[in-house]
Each structure stands twice: as structure tokens, then as C-alpha cells.
């Protein structure tokens, strides 16, 4: 009697196993946030998440930069809004249709009702809110380092709020942040080369 030969494990099988494990970890982190009682934080996070709808926070920040930031503030607002526009188009027209990930089931994971915001009908992957927030912060920060830190902090809170309110898995918001950063860098460098900025 001979020993059974081990099942061959190729790069495709290893990659598939790693993706499956990452997905399980993603769902587990979502569930951990959902079952952690945070009544004080719940209202703030749901309000922040709603305030970030349609990039309202980013637009308000851009207005503040234009009004009170001087030449560098105006230039930062332009870069941030350009990055925001390109990212929103890329995420909604390309990434989300390609991602096709179902939204989390808040009921199954017992996400507290107090956290709920309207559940979008679009694909869960990647997070558009996170992508937009990080794109704007990165675009502004490319020319206005002083404004970058608070805007990145705000972007991180917006990203987390999408998990806290139950409309995204953690992996969705991480991917959104990376996409927003990447597109903003491309847009900002393009603007640098062409010299299209407010004087």
C-alpha cells in the first residue's frame, strides 16, 4: 500500500485560498464592529456618513479653502475638486460595475438601528464615499500640505463611518481609499504638467 499523493497546489489555488481567507476576515471585522456597543458614537457616525453623501463635506471644505485660504487655498481646492471629479467618475462608472459585491446584510449582523443610514443600491466594492474623501484630501494636499492633515483625518472618519453604519465592509473602504489616493496623484501630476491652476 502506497501513501496517497498530495493534492497539487498551484499559484491559482493559493491565490484563490488567500482571497477566500481575506473575505472571511473582512466579514469578521464587519461583524466585530456591528456587535460592539457604542451608543455615544452611533449618532455622530451616522450623521457624518450622511453629511458625506454627494461629497457635501468636500464641497464645503473646498468653499472654505477658496474663501479663506488665499492663493494656495484656491489652488488646493481646484486640485481637490479635480481629483474628486475624476475619482467619482472612475469609481461609479468603472470600479463598482466591475466589483459587483453585494452590500452587507445589516439585519443578519445585528447592526444597531441607531446607526442606520439609507442603504445604497450600488455595488459595495469599492466605497465611493471613501474614494471621494481621500481623493479630495490627496488633491488638496498635493499643493497645500497644511490643509492635508485635517482633510485626511476627516477622510479616515468618513471611511470608518461607512463600516460603522453597516453599509460597507472594511475592505470596501480600504480599497476606496487606495483608489482615491491613486487617481488623485495622477490628476494632480497632470495638472502640474499643464499648469492649470488658479492664480
Inside any domain, residue 91: yes
Q: How many CB atoms lie within 10 A of CB 102?
A: 9
Number of domains forming the structure of the chain: 1
pLDDT of residue 199: 46
Inside any domain, residue 5: no
pLDDT tens digits for 141-170? 999 999 999 999 999 999 999 999 999 999
Dist CA 185 CA 194 (whole Å): 14
Inside any domain, residue 1: no
For every one of its 199 residues, what pLDDT tens digit does the chain have, with 9 covering 90 and above? 455 555 556 776 767 877 788 889 999 999 999 999 999 999 999 999 999 999 999 999 999 999 998 999 999 999 999 999 999 999 999 999 988 899 999 999 999 999 999 999 999 999 999 999 999 999 999 999 999 999 999 999 999 999 999 999 999 999 999 999 999 999 999 999 877 444 4
Inside any domain, residue 157: yes
Inside any domain, residue 65: yes
- Identify the CATH number of the domain in which residue 136 sits: 1.20.144.10
Inside any domain, residue 6: no
pLDDT tens digits for 40-61? 999 999 999 999 999 999 999 9
pLDDT of residue 19: 77
Distance separating the N- and C-terminal Cα atoms of the chain:
83
Containing structural domain, residue 112: 11-194
Inside any domain, residue 3: no
How far are the Cα atoms of 113, 135, 197 from residue 183, in angstroms, in the given order?
35, 7, 18
Inside any domain, residue 101: yes
Amino acid at each position: 500500500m502506497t501513501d496517497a499523493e498530495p493534492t497539487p497546489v498551484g499559484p491559482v489555488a493559493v491565490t484563490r485560498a488567500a482571497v477566500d481567507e481575506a473575505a472571511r476576515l473582512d466579514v469578521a471585522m464587519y461583524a466585530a464592529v456591528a456587535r460592539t456597543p457604542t451608543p455615544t458614537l452611533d449618532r455622530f457616525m451616522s450623521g457624518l456618513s450622511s453629511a458625506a453623501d454627494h461629497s457635501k463635506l468636500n464641497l464645503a471644505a473646498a468653499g472654505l479653502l477658496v474663501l479663506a485660504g488665499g492663493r494656495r487655498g484656491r489652488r488646493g481646492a481646484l486640485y481637490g475638486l479635480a481629483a474628486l471629479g475624476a475619482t467619482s467618475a472612475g469609481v461609479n462608472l468603472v470600479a463598482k460595475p466591475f466589483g459587483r459585491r453585494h452590500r452587507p446584510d445589516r439585519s443578519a449582523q445585528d447592526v444597531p438601528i441607531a446607526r442606520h443610514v439609507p442603504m445604497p443600491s450600488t455595488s459595495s466594492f469599492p466605497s465611493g464615499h471613501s474614494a471621494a474623501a481621500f481623493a479630495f484630501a490627496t488633491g488638496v494636499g498635493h499643493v497645500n500640505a497644511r490643509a492635508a492633515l485635517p482633510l485626511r483625518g476627516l477622510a479616515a472618519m468618513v471611511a470608518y463611518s461607512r463600516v460603522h453604519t453597516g453599509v460597507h465592509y472594511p475592505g470596501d473602504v480600504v480599497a476606496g481609499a487606495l483608489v482615491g489616493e491613486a487617481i488623485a496623484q495622477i490628476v494632480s501630476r497632470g495638472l502640474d504638467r499643464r499648469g492649470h491652476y488658479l492664480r
